[in-house]
Amino acid sequence: MPLPYSKKVIQHFNKPHNYGKMKSPDGVGEVGNLICGDLMKLYIKVVQNKKGQDIIKDIKFSTFGCLAAIASSSMLTDLVKGKTLEQAIGFDRKEIVDELGGLPPIKIHCSVLAGDALIEAIHDYLTKNKKPIPQALNERHGQLAKEKQEVEKDHKTC
């Protein structure tokens, strides 16, 4: 029996927003999902606003993930585009699921992929530009790097 997806999920899956690769991104994040082994790549372009804060001017993603991962990533890119990096780091991922009108519980893990890739892209941008990295972001980066290694190891063995 097909999973009960909301109309919004299906719309974002059929016409994902900000899907594809980006030329010369300022930050790139790539993560793997430990539960299903799917991979996600996310690109950001960063500019400064009038207050001198870094903001996400553009964002794109590509994934081999499922319908729920594509719809969630599409929604995330809409929600964080134009936000400051600080706002994007503190972004509540529950918002993605709420805005999509919910996801089947078995698919919630798919909705975290883009958020994790965003954390990695911001970490990449801050590192490349020798900017201070908040401690919580650094810790999460360490966990995600380990998870990605495990997913890639699994891919090699199958």
Q: Provide the binding-site residues for ligand FES, judged by CB under 6 A.
A: 33, 36, 38, 65-66, 68-69, 110, 113
Report the nearest approach of ligand FES to the CB of residue 64 (Å): 8
Report the nearest approach of ligand FES to the CB of residue 13 (Å): 11
Pick the closer one to ligand FES by CB: 109 or 140.
109
Pick the closer one to ligand FES by CB: 31 or 89.
31
Pick the closer one to ligand FES by CB: 86 or 152.
152
Q: At what angle do helices 108-128 and 67-80 cross, to 10 degrees?
A: 50
Pick the closer one to ligand FES by CB: 139 or 152.
152
Report the nearest approach of ligand FES to the CB of residue 67 (Å): 8
Q: At what angle do helices 67-80 and 7-14 cross, to 10 degrees?
A: 90
The token duo for 128 is 């490349």
In the three-class reduction of DSSP (H, G, I as helix; E, B as strand; rest coil), residue 101 is classed as coil
How far apart are alpha carbons 61 and 44 in whole angstroms? 9
Q: Return the H-helix or E-strand segment holding 89.
A: helix 85-89
Report the nearest approach of ligand FES to the CB of residue 110 (Å): 3
The residues annotated as belonging to the active site are 36, 110
- Pick from 7, 36, 46, 22: which is nearest to 111 by CA? 36
